[in-house]
Structure 1
Amino acid sequence: MSDRVRLLLWPPVVLLALAAPLELAGFWLQTGLFAMAAVIGAIGLTLLVGVTGQLSLGHAFFVAVGAYGYAYLAGIGWPPPLAAIGAVALAGLAGALFSPIAGRLRGIYLGLTSLGLVFLGQHILTNATAVTGGFNGRDAAPFNLFGFSFTATDPELTVLDVPFGPLERLWYLGLLLVAVSWWYAGNLARGRPGRALVAVRDSEVAAAVMGVDVRRYKAAAFTVSSAYAGLAGVLLALAFGRIVPESFGFLLSIDFLAMIIIGGLGSIGGAAAGAVFVTALPLVLNHYSDALPFLAQPGEAGIGAAEAARLLYGAAIVVVLLFAPGGLAQLARRIRTPRSARHEPTTAGLADRPAPRADGL
């Protein structure tokens, strides 16, 4: 598929996304908002894991910092836009504080250390009741911007006979946040900082010899990734309306790792596709569980919707690792690459081969 064809395909996709609230039911809008939040978080994680090569299992902790940061700051009277910015800054600061440790470790050691953040976060969320509300969680104040409230009223809004409530309004906010996150990550990955991060991933020794400040770039990658997670947490808080500690446990970190592996490590578009797949699958299976005879209903023995979803994307990870290590991004490149070019012999050396793309599918 040529670049010209892809450019022609973008306008219809954008128009469909903008028109979706006019046709979709509440379930699909809610699922879409969860998927958008996951896309933002997955883009941040692929910058850290796929582009920089730093394994992190603590992404859920930074998502929680963003979600609870917004709920707390908005709850004490901060204007929602400032509360959202403050929550993202808090998540980035948490990543920056952890970055000296990340700068000294790598591989499984860094992964296990970052996993400790998730358990530490669960302890704080359940015991710091004055800030987090404890087990009962905390309400997230509705978003408003320049006097426009993202609720069912203030002002009441109807478009083409469709009343625009919280979900319809948040849909457009989510689209804007996803677009800005994708654009920034693409520019970062294509620019000089992105090339330095790839050099760190490929060989820290070689990167240092070339003049790359390895620790500084690893710290920057962790900070940026954490800020992305914080932004995802803000959108999750707005979509849920009320947040509880159990939403930000170890399984959420595993889900984010599954997203970027299925999508293709280092690919921003792949991370987005993987995020949609992993987020939407259990929700869709649960929604249609009555019509799917192989799924057990709540309280019945057997495999429920959530378990089936985890089995399916667990199998997807195995398939990806065995047959398409580049994930959905690699499959997309195969589809748009002519078969003749795919099998063309080449005498180019390893140094002449292009680096994995980090700017999309």
Structure 2
Amino acid sequence: MSSDVEVAADARAGSGGSRASSPARRRRPTVPTLLRVLVVLVVAVLPLYLTSSLLQTGLFCMSAIIGAIGLNLLTGNTGQLSLAHAFFLAVGAYGYAFFAGTAPKIAGGSGASGLALPTVVAAVLAVLLTGALGLLFSPVSSRLRGIYLGIASLALVFVGQHVLFNAESFTGGFNGRSVPTFNLFGFVFDATEPQLYILNVPFGRFERLWYLGLVLVVLSYVFAKNLLRGRPGWAMQMVRDNEIAAAVMGVDVRRYKASAFVLSSMYAGLAGVLFGLTFSRIVPDTFGVDLSIQFLAMIIIGGLGTVGGAALGAVLVVALPQVLSQYGSSVPFLAAPGSGGVDAGSFARYVYGIAIVGFLIFEAGGLAAIGRRIAEAVGRRGRPAPPPAAPAPASAAPDVPASSP
């Protein structure tokens, strides 16, 4: 016997299916879809024009987009507050470095070791490792909610920091460890071999990683959108809105909460792999509480519960300090780092704080809600006005008896 939530999902799908049954309507792409395709095409040609530093910033944004989408599935769509995202990013980054790396040939045998696996296998194993650790934590995440789950997940960050600083044979300790270059079927994502030129532009490490990151972002985005459109998405939103009502409707609340935590951790692991490939070296200080708070800022500013909003918030939170640090000298009120004034990093944190408070008070839907409102306004402006209603004929008007004196 199917559960009530499946019946409700089928009813919603059926109501939309009658409108989409026409072949012409099904083949016609919508305006949001065309905009997404245009964005992907624009991003695809950027390596022909951007410098290496800006490409590195863009790759950092792509890594953050993947991680923010995963956290939004957990917090925005399932209603579980997690502060452990930095921990799972560290697991993904260090897991890839360990699975793909080799022990350095240093006298005395010191240094971080590795298994020397193929890089594709290492990346997949790193993502699966983060999912396995998320599964181990899922009994806690399925029983707690709200601030209690947030504090419990924060413990993972503290434990992870302790391991990263002390397990030197695995992490390299305080100095971190290098990240092996990605190799896909003999094609090395490096600047040396094979040499590659496109339109007389040399494609080095960042240019090659750019397209790898773009593919991972598109796949992560499409998977999350399709997940939220289906029955799991409806069940996750029901758990977020009212756990008791969801349980009455036949939703296995604990199973969906645990599954959302595992999926979110795997997204974070994939983001960690791309993060490590972008910077070539990873250190424990990067994966602290500040990184988890930044991811929360991404989904709040972008819009809780929306995949596109998570992507927008990630770009804003990551790109702003990076761009200010590179071009902050031309901004008169920004001081140099370490001078005691307001530098680019401090100014970016002020902007995040103001943006979070402003969105929570005035626009809880974040940038995604603002974008929808603008799109609706543009659509109404471009749509022709409906013709005025024709007046009713005089013969159709009912006879009104005259009132007696």
With normalisation by structure 2, the TM-score equals: 0.82
CA positional deviation for 1:98:
0.4
> What one-letter code is carried by the residue in structure 2 that aligns with 1:184?
F
CA positional deviation for 1:291:
1.0
- Deviation string, structure 1 residues 113-141 (Cα, Å, up to 9, x no partner): 10111111000000011100000101100
CA distance in 2, matches of 1:94, 1:264: 27
1:144 to 173, 183, 208: 183
> What one-letter code is carried by the residue in structure 1 that aligns with 2:339?
E
Name the residue aligned to 1:179: 218
Name the residue aligned to 2:80: 54
Name the residue aligned to 2:65: 39
CA distance in 2, matches of 1:188, 1:7: 17
With normalisation by structure 1, the TM-score equals: 0.92
Q: Which has the higher contact order (CA 8 A, sep 6+)?
A: 1
Matched, 1:18 2:44: yes
Q: Residues 82 and 4 of structure 1: is their aligned pair in 2 closer, same or farther, counting only changes over 3 Å?
A: same
CA positional deviation for 1:293:
1.7
Secondary structure of residue in 2 paired with 1:123:
helix
Name the residue aligned to 2:261: 222
Q: Residues 301 and 239 of structure 1: is their aligned pair in 2 closer, same or farther, counting only changes over 3 Å?
A: same
CA distance in 2, matches of 1:171, 1:266: 27
> What one-letter code is carried by the residue in structure 2 that aligns with 1:157?
L
> What one-letter code is carried by the residue in structure 2 that aligns with 1:239?
T
Name the residue aligned to 1:28: 54
CA distance in 2, matches of 1:110, 1:222: 11
> What one-letter code is carried by the residue in structure 1 that aligns with 2:71?
L
Long gaps (5+) in structure 1: 342-361
Name the residue aligned to 1:353: none
Stretches (4+) displaced over 6 A? none
CA positional deviation for 1:101:
0.5
> What one-letter code is carried by the residue in structure 1 that aligns with 2:38?
P
Secondary structure of residue in 2 paired with 1:152:
coil
Secondary structure of residue in 1 paired with 2:79:
coil
CA positional deviation for 1:246:
0.4
CA distance in 1, matches of 2:225, 2:32: 17
Question: Identity of paired residues, percent?
Answer: 62
1:65 to 80, 86, 91: 91
Name the residue aligned to 1:190: 229
CA distance in 2, matches of 1:3, 1:332: 19
CA distance in 1, matches of 2:208, 2:146: 41
Secondary structure of residue in 2 paired with 1:298:
coil
RMSD over equivalenced CA pairs, Å: 1.6
Matched, 1:94 2:94: no
1:265 to 294, 304, 309: 304
CA positional deviation for 1:16:
1.4
Secondary structure of residue in 1 paired with 2:372:
helix
Name the residue aligned to 1:351: none
> What one-letter code is carried by the residue in structure 1 that aligns with 2:206?
L
CA distance in 2, matches of 1:340, 1:297: 45
Alignment of 1:1-361 (within 5 A): 4-75=30-101, 76-338=115-377
CA positional deviation for 1:339:
8.7
Determine if contact 2:78/2:240 at 8 Å carries over to the other structure. yes
Secondary structure of residue in 2 paired with 1:81:
helix
Number of equivalenced pairs: 341
CA distance in 2, matches of 1:340, 1:64: 43
